[in-house]
């Protein structure tokens, strides 16, 4: 069964709003903060911005500058996409913060224009995505997710919380919900016949149900009581799913009812983002 079409305009609006919010956030950063180590191995805040810049430059048809160094030896580089990201990051390391922000604004303005010029048919066309073959619209959903998560990486490093509610945060939670069958069934290995309810609050508020019946899938309602229920703040849930936090250090922030052992296992395997 083909995946439903992803309507272009609302998603482009979300991307435009995300890039605008990032531009505003970058303007709040003291110059010294740009070189602060982030929660991502080997990267500073400036490196995170460089990564986002490089991805959008690639989508505008550019390639990272030649770099003779072997980035594949770095512990945080796991594949060719990671190696390309690292080459982009290195190419921007000698740039000053003001120039980085100006370049970010310039490139994302070009990307918004390019996206608005696309037709719905273009969005429905085949494309590579981080999850395998999909459509260009699906790829742009991943781009929004990636940029919002990196916005929070910057905010967490700089101590400037914000934008953990509203349309962008809701779409990020939608993205994780789309992966919940994989997280629960494959990552956590929840047994056949069991079911899980996850309730998040403090930002987006949502109740999500997953039932394992041959395979794990998200459902609107469970046929009975869940095997285990997790209740936790939305920001914590998203950061755990994005692999930003050590679940063992945050178990006390998760309320587990029902099968506690199963609940703890799910918390431990929420991370699915490479």
- Coarse DSSP helix, strand, coil percentages of the chain, rounded to the nearest 5 percent: 55, 15, 35
Of the candidates 5, 9, 6, the one whose C-alpha atom is nearest the C-alpha of residue 17 is: 9
The whole-number average pLDDT for the span 220-230 is 97
Per-residue pLDDT of 122-148, as tens digits, reads 999 999 999 999 999 999 999 999 999
The whole-number average pLDDT for the span 153-174 is 97
Q: Which residue has 């709040």 as its token pair?
A: 28
CATH 1.20.120.450 domain range(s) in the chain: 8-161
**Which are the contacts of 81, defined by CB distance < 8 A and separation ≥ 6?**
130
Compute the distance between CA of residue 211 and CA of residue 60 in angstroms, rounded to an integer.
Answer: 41
CATH 3.30.1050.10 domain range(s) in the chain: 173-268
Helix (H, G, I), strand (E, B) or coil at 209: strand
* pLDDT confidence of residue 10: 98
Of the candidates 82, 49, 42, 83, the one whose C-alpha atom is nearest the C-alpha of residue 66 is: 83
* pLDDT confidence of residue 162: 97
Helix (H, G, I), strand (E, B) or coil at 188: coil
The whole-number average pLDDT for the span 188-192 is 97
Residue 267 pLDDT class (50, 70, 90 cuts) = very high
Per-residue pLDDT of 45-76, as tens digits, reads 999 999 999 999 999 999 877 766 655 555 45
Q: Which fold has domain 8-161?
A: 1.20.120
Phi, psi of 219 (to 5 degrees): -130, 160
* CATH code of domain 173-268: 3.30.1050.10
* pLDDT confidence of residue 5: 87
Question: Does 85 score more than 80 pLDDT?
Answer: no
Q: Which residue has 């190696």 as its token pair?
A: 83
């Amino acid at each position: 069964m083909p995946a439903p079409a992803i309507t272009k305009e609302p998603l482009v609006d979300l991307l435009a709003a995300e890039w605008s919010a990032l531009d505003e956030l970058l303007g709040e950063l003291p110059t010294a903060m740009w070189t602060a180590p982030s929660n991502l191995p080997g990267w500073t805040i400036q490196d995170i911005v460089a990564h986002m810049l490089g991805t959008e430059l690639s989508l505008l048809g550019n390639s990272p500058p030649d770099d003779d160094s072997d980035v594949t030896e770095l512990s945080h580089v796991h594949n060719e996409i990671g190696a390309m990201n690292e080459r982009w990051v290195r190419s921007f390391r000698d740039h000053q913060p003001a120039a980085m922000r100006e370049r970010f604004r310039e490139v994302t303005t070009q990307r918004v224009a390019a996206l608005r010029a696309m037709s719905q048919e273009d969005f429905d066309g085949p494309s590579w995505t981080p999850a395998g073959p999909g459509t260009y619209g699906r790829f742009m959903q991943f781009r929004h997710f990636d940029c919002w998560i990196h916005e929070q990486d910057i905010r967490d490093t700089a101590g400037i919380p914000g934008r953990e509610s509203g349309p962008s945060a809701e779409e990020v939670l939608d993205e994780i919900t789309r992966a919940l069958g994989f997280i629960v069934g494959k990552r956590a290995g929840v047994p056949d016949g069991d079911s899980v309810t996850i309730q998040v609050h403090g930002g987006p508020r949502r109740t999500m149900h997953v039932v394992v019946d041959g395979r794990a899938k998200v459902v609107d309602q469970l046929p009975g009581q869940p095997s285990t229920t997790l209740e936790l703040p939305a920001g914590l849930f998203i950061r755990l799913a994005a692999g930003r936090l050590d679940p063992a250090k945050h178990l006390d922030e998760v309320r587990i009812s029902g099968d506690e052992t199963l609940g703890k296992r799910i918390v431990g395997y929420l991370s699915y983002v490479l």
